[in-house]
């Protein structure tokens, strides 16, 4: 018998929409022991949250997250509100005995993230952070290839995450839609917003990062505030590049910017090892490129006149998640990564084993983000402790 999972969602922006869609879809495609019930959503602006609740089919709404957290009919608090709200809500939700899932980055800084980890672990509540790109089937397949030993000794990890939506000087900062440009609300710029995704994927595929050296730049120094109309200093990093050393001895490069004209959500990685390489680009999300030098099952080494990179069309039933969706050759998209994530979270509840990435796992990404920002200030290598 399927049990209800009563969800209380905080935030109605981009992530509020992706999460709502995931809760609505998941039980139609995945066979799980719990079914999400869209119990209540929450935001301060009553007109907006009421309209959001009606559009997505939430049963009720609140305008104060504290009330939502106290409600007896809520099992799971989902934090999809701006980054500077994650800490307080997550700790209160854990204390109230609710399961907590939180948008990325987990927190504004490591100190907050550590306390959030302690809160969910002390309360013993299920928790997860929405690093949704782990649930792109092609990226999950890359992890499978790594785990199967197809990459061999890793040498290089290369990640880019490029966008272009802040190039124009007249883009304002702050307020309900542009808080990502305000460090007081977002914590940082591209480092926490985009590189956090790249770092989570990198650690998942290639293990812990031990040290970094970084440089950041803020190209446009002042922007109007979206609410006051006044010019204010820009406090975020517009671009960030860093070098990394991994515990397995490999080296990494990471590049992120919102000033790469023509790049909208260009999230790529490549891992090169002695026995093979993988490459992924979110602009072709159904493809995983693989270069096989040595087959771990047969031990056979290949490099002849027909050897080359192959693009695996990750849409077959034997590929991660794809037996739950359509038929081979029919692609899925961005929104499905959130549905796949909810499915994994519920499967973790059903089995009692939990689901990655937990708050504790996401703390490791937070440590790298903080070290990157520290290094960008000092110009020195910073160790991740």
- Given the rule CB under 6 A, which residues bind ligand SOE? 14, 163, 193, 197, 265
Q: Whats the size of the chain, residue-wise?
A: 385
Contact 75, 6 (CB under 8 A): yes
Helices 110-123 and 359-378: crossing angle in degrees, nearest 10, is 170
Residue 157 CB, shortest distance to ligand SOE, in Å, is 19
**Interatomic CA distance for residues 153 and 136, integer angstroms:** 25
Burial of 117 (0-12, 13-18, 19+ CB in 10 A): buried
Long-range contacts of 219-222 (CB under 8 A, 24+ apart): 219/259, 220/166, 220/169
CB-nearest residue to ligand SOE: 193
Residue 197 CB, shortest distance to ligand SOE, in Å, is 6
Copy the structure tokens of residue 209: 């990062």
Q: Which residue intervals of the chain are DSSP H helices? A: 14-29, 46-56, 65-70, 86-95, 110-123, 137-147, 175-178, 183-186, 190, 196-206, 334-351, 359-378
Copy the structure tokens of residue 372: 């990157």
Instruction: Considering the complex, state which of residue 12 and residue 291 has its C-beta at the smaller distance from ligand SOE.
Output: 12
Instruction: Considering the complex, state which of residue 6 and residue 160 has its C-beta at the smaller distance from ligand SOE.
Output: 160
Q: In Å, how far are 87, 114, 287, 325, 351 from 359, measured between CA atoms? A: 11, 9, 29, 28, 19
Residue 14 CB, shortest distance to ligand SOE, in Å, is 6
Residue 47 CB, shortest distance to ligand SOE, in Å, is 24
Instruction: Considering the complex, state which of residue 176 and residue 243 has its C-beta at the smaller distance from ligand SOE.
Output: 176
Residue 101 CB, shortest distance to ligand SOE, in Å, is 15
Residue 282 CB, shortest distance to ligand SOE, in Å, is 9
Instruction: Considering the complex, state which of residue 134 and residue 324 has its C-beta at the smaller distance from ligand SOE.
Output: 134
Q: In Å, how far are 30, 134, 297 from 344, measured between CA atoms? A: 10, 11, 29
Residue 185 CB, shortest distance to ligand SOE, in Å, is 12
Instruction: Considering the complex, state which of residue 58 and residue 338 has its C-beta at the smaller distance from ligand SOE.
Output: 338
Instruction: Considering the complex, state which of residue 218 and residue 265 has its C-beta at the smaller distance from ligand SOE.
Output: 265
Instruction: Considering the complex, state which of residue 78 and residue 193 has its C-beta at the smaller distance from ligand SOE.
Output: 193
DSSP per residue, 125-162: --EEE--GGGGSHHHHHHHHHHHTT-S-SEEEEEEEEE
């Amino acid at each position: 018998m399927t049990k209800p999972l009563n969800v209380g969602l905080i935030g109605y922006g981009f992530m509020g929409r992706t999460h709502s869609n995931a809760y609505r879809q998941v039980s139609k495609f995945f066979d799980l022991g719990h079914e999400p019930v869209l119990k209540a959503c929450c935001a301060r602006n009553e007109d907006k949250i009421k309209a959001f609740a009606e559009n997505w089919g939430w049963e009720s709404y609140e305008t104060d997250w504290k009330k939502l957290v106290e409600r007896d009919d809520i099992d799971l608090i989902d934090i999809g509100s701006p980054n500077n709200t994650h800490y307080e809500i997550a700790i209160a939700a854990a204390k109230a005995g609710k399961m907590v899932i939180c948008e990325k980055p987990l927190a504004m800084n490591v100190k907050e993230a550590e306390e959030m980890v302690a809160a969910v672990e002390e309360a013993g509540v299920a928790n997860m952070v929405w690093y949704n790109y782990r649930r792109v089937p092609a990226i999950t397949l890359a992890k499978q290839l790594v785990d199967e030993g197809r990459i061999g000794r890793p040498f290089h990890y290369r990640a880019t995450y490029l966008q272009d939506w802040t190039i124009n000087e007249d883009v304002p900062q702050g307020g309900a839609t542009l808080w990502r440009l305000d460090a007081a609300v977002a914590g940082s710029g591209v480092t926490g917003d985009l590189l956090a995704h790249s770092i989570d994927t990198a650690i998942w595929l290639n293990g812990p990062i031990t040290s970094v050296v970084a440089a950041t730049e803020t190209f446009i120094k002042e922007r109007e505030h979206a609410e006051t109309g006044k010019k204010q200093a820009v406090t975020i990093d517009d671009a960030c590049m860093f070098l990394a050393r991994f515990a397995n001895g490999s080296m990494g490069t990471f590049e992120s910017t919102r000033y790469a004209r023509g790049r909208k959500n260009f999230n790529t990685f490549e891992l090169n090892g002695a026995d093979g390489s993988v490459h992924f680009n979110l602009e072709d999300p159904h493809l995983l490129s693989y270069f096989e030098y040595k087959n771990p099952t047969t031990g056979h080494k290949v490099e002849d006149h027909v050897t080359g990179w192959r693009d695996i069309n990750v849409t077959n039933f034997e590929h991660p998640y794809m037996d739950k969706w359509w038929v081979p050759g029919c692609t899925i998209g961005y929104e499905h990564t959130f549905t796949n994530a909810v499915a994994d979270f519920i499967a973790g509840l059903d089995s009692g084993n939990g689901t990655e990435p937990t708050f504790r796992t996401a703390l490791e990404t937070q440590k790298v983000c903080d070290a990157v920002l520290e290094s960008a200030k000092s110009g020195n290598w910073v160790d991740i402790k």
